[in-house]
Structure 1
Amino acid sequence: NVDYKKSGIKQYIENVSIFLHAPYVKYLYNLYSHVIFLLLFSYVLLCDYFPLYEYQSNYGPSMTELILILWVFTLLCEEIRQIRAKKIHSMYGKLQSYFTILWNKLDTFAIILFFITCILRFLPISGCFNIARTILAIDLSIWYIRTLDIFSAVKRLGPKLVMIGEMVHDLTFFMLMLTVFVLAFGVPTYSLLNDVQNFSWHMPRRIINLAYWQIVEDIEKNYELNGYVMFFLLIVYITVASVLLINLLIAMFSNTFDRLHMNTDCIWKFQQY
């Protein structure tokens, strides 16, 4: 009876171990831990991230911030483990193989940004905290985008990520064409609306802002020569940007979707491999 109980307990432990090491269970661990990580990161950034130089005599980093730093450090250790686990002899080959994956590049970039904020965070300079908080906000957005990789295991969502990636390539060419037309309209119109000005790095932003938001208001009441020139530029710009380019982008997206939709099952299985 004693041997039977021992064998039963041993079998139970083995079954639990098999269950915990099952791919689906590991996937759930990864998903839930990432969600908790994002919630913790968001809470720290929104509610528990204060400048240390103002309270340096009495306070240090909050407990949640320390937990977040420790958590990101464990993620760094995991990335190092993945590099060392590559079955390639040279370290250069391991790094090259590691960085061929987009998500690994994103992980590395996010971790580097986080530790840059940690360094800036502890510098006793008021401007450094504002820079650190800005970088930390960008870093959080990267970690949210990183969630998309987890969805690749879902059959309905995985192929959609490939479609999004292909559409981003289409969008890149579209943005290049749109930038040409925005500048072709914005720069001449800005020069006609304003006198000669000293150069400022804020000027490109004002030009783009004019091309997007302040077009009609500044032109509709101007009946002088420059007003008619701006009116003509506006007609051409709206026709090309709002009609031609938008429909071109829709056609490119539709073509990409149709091309990949036929092979969704194959794409999903390849992602699992």
Structure 2
Amino acid sequence: MKSYQLSLSPGSLSLYFYIAYQFIQEKTYKNKERDLQLLLLEAIIADRVDYVSAMLQNGVEFNYDHFENLYNETLQCENCQAKDCRKIHSIHHRISADVCEQIWCTCQGKMKGIAGDGSTNCKRHVARSPTICDSGRLMCQQLLNYATITHEIRPGTVHPTLDDDEGYFHDLLAWALFTNRVEIAGVFWSRCKNQLLTAVMASSILKNMANKATSAKDRQLYKDLLDHSRLFEERVVHMQSSLYEESEYDAMSLMEKKDDVLGIRVSPMICAHEHNMIDVIGHPCIQRHLNRIWYNEQICFPIGTSEAAAKFWDCFRNACCCNGCTRRIQAWFSPLMKFFIHYIFLMALIIEFSAFVLTDLKIISSISDIGIYEWLLYLWLFADLLEEFGFPNLIRPRMFRRRKHTYWFKMKRFLFNFWTILTFLSHVVLIQAIWVRFFTSSVYHRASLRLYSLGLFLMYMRFLQCMIVHSYFGPKIIMIGEMLLELFKFVWILIIFMMCTGVLYHANMYPSHYDMWSPEGVQYWRIWKIIALPYWQIYGELFLEDLQGMIIFKYQTSLCLK
């Protein structure tokens, strides 16, 4: 087999693999199983999909000891410059350099990193605690935006059908995704235990790799990775359709069932939502399941939901009418009813807040100067802070101990969520208004009223979130939010035009002006007048009298007439 192994390479003819496979099958000797495993390794390296499929179907197992040779032969980068490398290795180096250095061998010597002087610069052979499969899984977790999860102890050789774990096919699939082997990745994926969840994760991994490829300006690699990601996403949608047609309720429950894949415990629906797989989330299988949860289905009340309520009025009738105690409890504890009651209270608060702003605010000299409207506002603000930021931080660490995202991923989810930003701004403005009112009420009394008014405006904007659940208004509200994000990108261009035009106007209208930053206060700085003129011109207020000097001319004329 060693002599055959020398002639087997990615450029070898298929005949060579056929001769080697027939030779091993016809002979009966002691190392037959080992030679079949070596032939399987060489077929995987050479990307011979037909031989890999045939050997796996005939029961040939992959040896875990060959993973190191597999990574060395396919992903070893000679004289690699890490981030400047044009190969796929640079993508993983941008994600996690520490994990990447434990996967890719950088040995200069031939004997496991030991050079002639006995030294080594290879971190993979110095720190032998995690295996290369564990490092590959950690890389997948980094690509899926999960924090580092505890390493799993892997046996030497495991048959996937005999062990409770998913076997070695997930590790082989991770290698195929790292190398972007499209056909052979499909072979390994078809041998995995949970194909639905695995396909969702594989699509997300490839999509994140494609996004990292744009930083290397490699458009071809970006396109290849994105096409590979779409292939797995199409497989997920196809599986959803097939399962949904065969058994609706089993397909819906399967999308919410959690399982362990690559060291992460998550459900296909949650994983697809976290990585914006719109086609998967928009499938009728998931949409119907979410609709059932929204109206009736509760964990503590296992009742058939399709017969209890199918739309809002059915749920409302169950809550009000006497259709049985079970139906009534089910309707009152549904997410729809909780949502409805929450926004009823929010509407009442906005009305109360409006009444508070429209009344005359007294300067606080004693506790009696705080009215009932103001006390209700402070009580709601405290409860809203607990609901938005307090309780989630207490509940989520206990419920999702094995599904922890990285802080950078949580920060991006926070910054790119329009409603979360709006909630955060409303809290900041209201807290600042309370601070101004209580500590500097006599000096900045009018400023506190302005801050309360701005907080009320943000509260009205937050109330628009309740309209998202409506089938007609919901898409429009989402479109407005996306348009605002695009508008912020346009604002930078607008600021440049406003500044250059404002400076041009101001320099010619006030040539003798010398005080740019007035020591009298921020409100007297000249920058506001520079910005104001071109800003209002955008809305049609041209200020022709100011630009042509008509106001000064009229003033001088009136003086002469007097």
Give 1:136 deviation, angstroms.
Answer: 1.9
Is the CA contact 2:516–2:527 (under 8 Å) kept in the aligned structure 1?
A: no
**Cα deviations by residue, 1:108-165 (Å, 9 ceiling, x for unpaired):** 4423432343333333651243333232222222211111221111111222223222
Give 1:205 deviation, angstroms.
Answer: 2.1
Q: Is 2:482 the partner of 1:159?
A: no
Give 1:36 deviation, angstroms.
Answer: 0.8
* Cα distance change on mapping 1:194 and 1:120 into 2, 3 Å: closer
Question: What residue ranges of structure 2 are gaps of 5+ in the alignment?
Answer: 1-321, 518-523, 551-562
In structure 2, the residue matched to 1:46 is 358
Is the CA contact 1:88–1:94 (under 8 Å) kept in the aligned structure 2?
A: no
In structure 2, the residue matched to 1:191 is 507
Q: What letter is aligned with 1:100?
A: R
**Cα deviations by residue, 1:19-38 (Å, 9 ceiling, x for unpaired):** 21123322321222211111
Give 1:175 deviation, angstroms.
Answer: 2.6
* Cα distance change on mapping 1:47 and 1:78 into 2, 3 Å: same
In structure 2, the residue matched to 1:36 is 348
TM-score by length of 2: 0.33
> How much is the aligned-residue C-alpha RMSD, in angstroms?
3.2
Correspondence list, 1:115-126, <5 A: 115-123=431-439, 125-126=441-442
Correspondence list, 1:175-214, <5 A: 175-197=491-513, 198-200=515-517, 201-211=524-534, 212=537, 213-214=541-542
* Cα distance change on mapping 1:48 and 1:68 into 2, 3 Å: farther
* Cα distance change on mapping 1:220 and 1:22 into 2, 3 Å: same
Q: Which runs of 4+ in 1 moved over 6 A?
A: none
Q: 2:546 aligns with which of 218, 225, 230?
A: 218
Q: 2:386 aligns with which of 65, 68, 77?
A: 77
In structure 2, the residue matched to 1:131 is 447
Give 1:196 deviation, angstroms.
Answer: 2.2
What secondary structure, in the 3-state scheme, does the structure 2 residue paired with 1:126 have?
Answer: coil
Is the CA contact 1:99–1:105 (under 8 Å) kept in the aligned structure 2?
A: no
What secondary structure, in the 3-state scheme, does the structure 1 residue paired with 2:516 have?
Answer: coil
What secondary structure, in the 3-state scheme, does the structure 2 residue paired with 1:52 have?
Answer: coil
* Cα distance change on mapping 1:173 and 1:89 into 2, 3 Å: same
* Cα distance change on mapping 1:112 and 1:13 into 2, 3 Å: farther
**Cα distance between partner residues in 2 of 1:124 and 1:185:** 38
Give 1:99 deviation, angstroms.
Answer: 7.8
**Cα distance between partner residues in 1 of 2:395 and 2:339:** 19
* Cα distance change on mapping 1:214 and 1:37 into 2, 3 Å: same
Q: Is 2:333 the partner of 1:24?
A: no
Larger radius of gyration: 2
Q: What letter is aligned with 2:481?
A: G
Is the CA contact 2:364–2:441 (under 8 Å) kept in the aligned structure 1?
A: no
Correspondence list, 1:78-93, <5 A: 78-79=387-388, 80-86=390-396, 87-89=399-401
Give 1:40 deviation, angstroms.
Answer: 0.9
Q: Which has more helix, going by share of residues?
A: 1
**Cα distance between partner residues in 2 of 1:121 and 1:59:** 14
In structure 2, the residue matched to 1:170 is 486
In structure 2, the residue matched to 1:61 is 370
* Cα distance change on mapping 1:122 and 1:205 into 2, 3 Å: closer
**Cα distance between partner residues in 2 of 1:94 and 1:214:** 51
Give aligned pairs, total: 210
Give 1:13 deviation, angstroms.
Answer: 3.5
In structure 1, the residue matched to 2:159 is none
Give 1:98 deviation, angstroms.
Answer: 8.6
Correspondence list, 1:145-156, <5 A: 145-156=461-472
**Cα distance between partner residues in 1 of 2:542 and 2:509:** 11
Q: Which has the higher contact order (CA 8 A, sep 6+)?
A: 1
Question: What residue ranges of structure 1 are gaps of 5+ in the alignment?
Answer: 1-9, 223-273
Aligned sequence identity (%): 20
